[in-house]
Amino acid sequence: PLILNQPTIVALSAGQTVYCGSCRQMTPHFASAGYNCPQYMNPAEYFISLVNTDFDDHADVPQMVQSYTQSEIRKELINRIMSDRKTPQH
């Protein structure tokens, strides 16, 4: 599924996170993993087709998970979470 909580998008496939970040960073992230959105295709539809394992032409999910796991986007998210945990609760 693709979960939209603007401005953050979470894309899951086979129960694993393939992307969690801003809408703005999603297209460059997938392009860096080798999945360039076709010029005249709606990016949301394209990304859904990549992560939907119900169809034969889906992307290599383990490779997509690894790409996200090693991405700067994920590292920044983890850093924000860890920083937030250090903030005293009100």
Alpha-carbon gap, residue 62 to 16, rounded angstroms: 9
Digit-coded pLDDT (tens) for 37-86? 999 999 989 998 999 988 888 889 999 999 999 999 999 999 988 998 88
35 residue type, one letter: Y
Q: Which residue has the tokens 């394209």?
A: 46
pTM of the model: 0.80
State the pLDDT at residue 37. Answer: 94
The mean pLDDT value for 33-38 works out to 94
Confidence of residue 90 (pLDDT cuts 50, 70, 90): low
